[in-house]
Amino acid sequence: MCLKRSDLGEEKRILKKRIDVAAGRIPADVVIRNAKIVDVFSGRILEDDIAVIDGMIAGMGSYTGHKIYDADGRYAIPGLIDAHMHIESTNVTPEELGRMIVPLGTTTIIADPHEIVNVCGITGLNYMLDAAKNTVLDIKYMIPSCVPATPFEHSGAVIGAKQMQEPIKNEHILGLGEFMDIFGVVNAEPEVLDKILTAKNQGKFVDGHSPGATGHALDGYIAAGIRTDHECSTVDEMNERISRGMYVILREGSACRNLETLLKGVTPYNSRRCLLCTDDFHMHTLLNEGHMDKHLRLCVKNDIDPIVAIQMATLNAAECYGLDDRGAIACGRRADIVLVDDLKNFKIHQVFVEGCEAAREGKYLLPYERQDSTCVHGSFHVKDFSAEKLKLHLKSGHVHVIDIMPGGILTKKSEAEVNIDSEGEFVWNSEQDIVKVAVIERHKNTGNVGCGFLRGYGLKQGAVAISIAHDSHNIITVGISDKDIEAAVNQIIAQEGGIVLVKNGQVIENMPMSVGGIMSDQSGCQVGEKLSIIYKKIEEDLKVNPLIDPLMTLAFMSLPVIPELKMTDTGLFDVTKNACISLEVE
């Protein structure tokens, strides 16, 4: 697009002022003195001052300025970049997330809003874009590529290439979000190719999602022009993708914790192709463990050079996503600067976003306004749910079971013998770590309820129900009896989303989430405090397996693009076969 003459004149004035500051002819807006600047380009530490004008770094050296900050010998690192995350998984809204993570040094995130778009379609995307305007955190979005993730489930919306054509042009949308339909890409299905070309024709990127793909299948996937993958669970998977030109995003979230495993494969030769992300994490995790600052600590703990770790959290992500205005402390880049006490614990002292002091000692300093979210309320439309819908009518107790694999969201397809009564209904056995799992459709009044068995969750009492169920976000629930499950699901419907715990048929704890049924309108601290209570009750009253994140793990048991076995509202889904299968072993 050509700039108007008036725009060119203003740009020329701004550029001249920046050069004048850099050359020492006029004072800077802000000068940060006595800093140990981490140079992510050369791997050096420079002891110098930083001059800022109009939100950009003009130079490093001896400068005068209208406002002076003393770093007092602290390390200055670039603002941290989360290379892939789903804001909705934090259970707070975008502007509230900014208030929580900017004090932890994160100044940019690459967000895929496919949770709210699966619920509310383009209305959900527009809400997220509007809410992002109310935070100093720079939120760059990817438009969701797979809504729904597969045709074997029901979501609140269907987004095809046609629906993407206008939103993809938005300057705040960098490209197409994680392409989970591996089968569609590798088989070059027309609708899939239309989506990819819609992004490419606008000069936008395509993010990847290819768990377990290898060999020719992986080659076919990458040949489509897919740039990244955050689903590696082994070093071999990581190396195979890097060798084929991909960026690999090392993930450390609430349920998926692959970072320390993959760090074993990071070398001086491949580190510049490695990025860091959270993907999905709870506010509970954020308040107790941190955000990208935690990733830096884990990197150093695992013998990664601190400057390499900082590159992975800043420059690498900026280069991957074409954000040439950030990712380093250098002339002409955004003045997103974080002052830390050391390069081991990365205790955050002060955060500057575009040269403005945004946080100090953990406190967010800027004005805060919440976006109206009523456009994404009222998303529950459940037809005729009752305990009768949970009945299985089994002819045999020899059944397929979803086996949880701790440390991630991969599952194993297994078999087991379960107890059934004279009517073919499941009878819970306290000696067997197997419970009923069900997904209840909540968008289109279909009345669909898919039921199966889950092993490894550890539930000993009652039921858990949540409406955060990736990626279609129907209701997912586990319980030892239909009575407990029914009570939990009915409460979820009544409160229009969130989390419910039931014991002996009675609700013992709950947290509503009115924003699309997946986010709260409360503050991050309120959500975190409530989650702490819920986690404690899950552990102490319901006796869920302490080796898993009970909420995040459950939320992923309905994601039919992660091997091997998952549960959808249409039934038990075998990811490797890309088809629903019988609950009973034939």
Range of the domain at 555: 377-581
123's tokens:
């209305």
Q: Answer yes or no: is pLDDT of 262 > 50.
A: yes
Last residue of one domain, picked from the residues 289, 304, 323 = 323
pLDDT in tens, 414-429: 999 999 999 999 999 9
- Which of 3-12, 291-300, 461-470 is predicted with the least confidence, judged by mean pLDDT? 3-12
Asked if residue 576 belongs to a domain, the reply is yes
* Same structural domain, 436 and 315: no
Distance of CA 448 to the CA centre of its chain: 28
Q: Which residues contact 22 (CB under 8 A, 6 or more apart)?
A: 51, 58, 59, 331
pLDDT in tens, 364-414: 999 989 999 999 998 899 999 999 999 999 999 999 999 999 877 889 999
* Same structural domain, 124 and 235: yes
Residue written as token pair 């939990």: 488
Last residue of one domain, picked from the residues 323, 356, 385 = 323
* Same structural domain, 390 and 467: yes
* Same structural domain, 397 and 274: no
* Same structural domain, 266 and 149: yes
* Same structural domain, 314 and 385: no
Q: pLDDT category, 6, cuts 50, 70, 90? A: low
* Same structural domain, 314 and 414: no
Write the DSSP string, 240-268: HHHHTT-EEEEEB-SS-B-HHHHHTT--T
Q: Which residues contact 475 (CB under 8 A, 6 or more apart)?
A: 382, 439, 440, 442, 465, 466, 467, 469, 489, 492, 493
Q: pLDDT category, 362, cuts 50, 70, 90? A: very high
Instruction: Tell me the three state secondary structure of residue 58.
Output: strand
Asked if residue 183 belongs to a domain, the reply is yes
CB 180 within 8 A of CB 470: no
What does the chain come to in residues? 586
Q: Which residues contact 303 (CB under 8 A, 6 or more apart)?
A: none
Report pLDDT for 33: 98
Residue 38: count other Cβ atoms within 10 Å of its Cβ.
Answer: 23
What is the average per-residue pLDDT within 479-483?
Answer: 97
Give the separation between CA 217 and CA 417, rounded to whole angstroms: 35
Give the separation between CA 461 and CA 537, rounded to whole angstroms: 11
Give the separation between CA 531 and CA 527, rounded to whole angstroms: 6
Q: Answer yes or no: is pLDDT of 309 > 70.
A: yes
Give the DSSP letter of residue 579. E
Give the separation between CA 372 and CA 515, rounded to whole angstroms: 10
Average pLDDT, the chain: 95
CB 181 within 8 A of CB 561: yes
Asked if residue 127 belongs to a domain, the reply is yes
What is the average per-residue pLDDT within 256-276?
Answer: 96
Asked if residue 344 belongs to a domain, the reply is no
CB 163 within 8 A of CB 156: no
Q: Which of 237, 150, 102 is nearest to 524 (CA)?
A: 102
* Same structural domain, 165 and 232: yes
Asked if residue 342 belongs to a domain, the reply is no
Separate counts of helices (H) and strands (E) for the chain: 17, 30
Q: Which of 284, 282, 265 is nearest to 274 (CA)?
A: 265
Which residue type sits at 392?
L
CATH code where residue 138 lies: 3.20.20.140
* Same structural domain, 385 and 312: no
Distance of CA 462 to the CA centre of its chain: 29
Q: Which residues contact 390 (CB under 8 A, 6 or more apart)?
A: 436, 438, 449, 451, 482, 485, 486
Give the separation between CA 28 and CA 24, rounded to whole angstroms: 9
CB 512 within 8 A of CB 379: no
By CB atoms closer than 10 A (0-12, 13-18, 19+), residue 54 is: middle
Report pLDDT for 3: 43
Three-state helix/strand/coil letters over 67-126: EEEECCCCEEEECEEEEEECHHHHCCCHHHHHHHHHHHCEEEEEECCHHHHHHHCHHHHH
Q: Between the CA atoms of 278, 559, 240 and 87, what dihedral angle is there, to the nearest 10 degrees?
A: -20
Asked if residue 68 belongs to a domain, the reply is no
* Same structural domain, 180 and 264: yes
Phi, psi of 569, deg, nearest 5: -70, -15
pLDDT in tens, 50-73: 999 999 999 999 999 999 999 999
* Same structural domain, 156 and 299: yes
Report pLDDT for 410: 87
Give the separation between CA 73 and CA 48, rounded to whole angstroms: 10
Q: pLDDT category, 1, cuts 50, 70, 90? A: very low
Q: pLDDT category, 487, cuts 50, 70, 90? A: very high
Report percent pLDDT > 70 for the chain.
99
Residue written as token pair 């009253």: 541
Report pLDDT for 289: 95
Asked if residue 367 belongs to a domain, the reply is no
pLDDT in tens, 282-300: 898 999 999 999 999 999 9
Asked if residue 432 belongs to a domain, the reply is yes
Q: Which of 249, 281, 283, 304 is nearest to 81 (CA)?
A: 249
Report pLDDT for 301: 98
pLDDT in tens, 193-230: 999 999 999 999 999 999 989 999 999 999 999 999 99
State the Cα angle at 175 between 293 and 145, rounded to 5°: 100
User: How many Cα atoms within 13 Å fall on the side-chain side of residue 459?
Assistant: 29
Q: Which residues contact 166 (CB under 8 A, 6 or more apart)?
A: none
Q: pLDDT category, 336, cuts 50, 70, 90? A: very high
Write the DSSP string, 444-502: S----EEEEEEES----SSEEEES--TTTT-EEEEESSHHHHHHHHHHHHHTTSEEEEE
What is the average per-residue pLDDT within 125-131?
Answer: 97
* Same structural domain, 288 and 425: no
Report pLDDT for 338: 98
User: What is the pTM assigned to this prediction?
Assistant: 0.93
CB 58 within 8 A of CB 96: no
Report pLDDT for 7: 80
Work out how many domains the chain is built from and give that number: 2
